[in-house]
Amino acid sequence: MNKHHLTSARSAAASAPASDRLPWGALLALAMAGFICILTETIPAGLLPQIGQGLHISEALAGQLVTSYALGTLLTAIPLTAATSNWRRRPLLLLCMFGFLLFNSVTAFSSSYGLTIIARFMAGVSSGILWGMSAGYARRMVPDALKGRAMAVAMLGAPIALALGVPAGTFLGVFAGWRFVFGMMSLLAVLLILWIMWKMPDFAGQPSAKRRSLYSVMLIPGVRPVLAVVLAWMLAHNILYTYIAPYLAVVGLVERVDVILLVFGVASVAGIVLIGLLIDRMLRTMVLISLAGFAIASVLLGIGSSEPMIIYIAIALWGVTFGGAATLLQTAVAEAAGDHADVAQSMLVTAWNLAIGGGGLIGAILLETLGVITFPWALFLLVIVALLIAWLAKEHGFRSNRS
């Protein structure tokens, strides 16, 4: 065997999932990437007064740092995922992390509101590419029997960021300054870049001959039902999550918002661990159980407004059912799309971000017209729609038997 063939064989062996054990180092690198991504997206919401003061702008304008990031993700996830589908995976992941390093550093040092908004938009672009590739990357590291569990580990960074990272970052930002928090996220990106270079296997991108148009990927059986469930489920979640404080004010728990969010966050982490253990055998069942559980939580929030214990139970149930949602939905769309999973994932990211924006808009309309007390029933209707779609998609999308 000549040197070229030997090198190729070694490369192929390094890329092939030859073990029945999870590659923890590589999967935790993806989890940390998701942690940085979610923390970068959400941390400004807890530091609006400090950011406003630092940039000499109103809190309303400071809030647009969150909007700008979401817009960058929403507008670019699909086209850039499609455009980079033939790139090798590790260099693309490194490019995303260099993006977070650069744009979080710009945010940390910028004194210009316009420059900061641009940096936030570009960080959102990095996020869109990252979420478009991460599920497929995790699945390629392991044999078929472990694909769901690998995704559960890779997705662990997002709920941990929401449950622990955001509160810790907000606390740190209040006492050490918001610029220090963005600087710390840049430092995390540097450490992760080194970790990726050390621990991550590399895989080839998709050959141009196998690439399909966005429209043809959308027409693959099962893709559209999954995206419809994403939109309905996440719309329901974001209506409540965005306006949790007004809801808690009505039920007399507004002073316990921090405790409520901690309960939700811890329950979310428990949910993703549970899903990780069961997803490879029970994807369809866990989707249906999660949606049914969220529906029950919605009813409890509607009828338990005078009973704090019922509210806490409902919040915990909501957290458990939400924690594994990303893993379940990303696995379902990857199973449906097959070789075109990365493009389908970018569609899922776009639907997810539309639901975030739509939740804020619909929640605002409900708040101003029918009142916050109607939120649980709006959630219930949306989740029932999602449950019905998932139930009917037993042939494709949320299959009864996974091959």
- The CATH number for 214-392, chosen from 1.20.1250.20, 1.10.10.10, 2.30.30.90, 2.60.40.10, is 1.20.1250.20
Give the CA distances from residue 260 to residues 53, 121, 256, 313, 364, in Å, rounded to whole numbers and listed in that order: 28, 31, 6, 10, 21
Longest dimension (CA), the chain: 77
Give the number of other CB atoms < 10 A from CB of residue 354. 17
> 134 vs 4, 5, 6, 139, 168, CA distance in Å?
30, 30, 29, 9, 25
Q: How far apart are CA 52 and CA 50, in angstroms?
A: 5
pLDDT digits (tens, 9 = 90+) for 85-113: 889 999 999 999 999 999 999 999 999 99
Domain range annotation of the chain = 22-208, 214-392
Residue 159 has pLDDT above 80, yes or no: no
For the stretch 175-209, pLDDT in tens is 888 999 999 999 999 999 999 999 899 988 777 65
pLDDT, residue 19, reads 60
Q: Tokens 């991108």 belong to which residue?
A: 205
Q: Which two tokens stand for residue 281?
A: 């055998």
Count of residues in the chain? 403
Of 305, 315, 294, 304, the closest CA to residue 249 belongs to 305
CATH class of the 22-208 domain in this structure: mainly alpha
Cα angle 75-193-200, degrees, rounded to a multiple of 5: 95
Higher pLDDT, 63 or 351: 351
Mean pLDDT (whole number) for 15-27: 73
Q: Read off φ and ψ for residue 33, nearest 5 degrees.
A: -60, -45
Chain-centroid distance, C-alpha 121:
17
Looking at residues 128-156, what average pLDDT do you find?
A: 84
pLDDT tens digit string along 235-261?
A: 999 888 877 878 888 888 877 777 887
22-208 against 214-392: fold identical: yes
Query: Could you tell me if 74 and 198 are in contact, meaning their C-beta atoms sit under 8 angstroms apart?
Result: no
Please state the rounded mean pLDDT for residues 272-276: 85
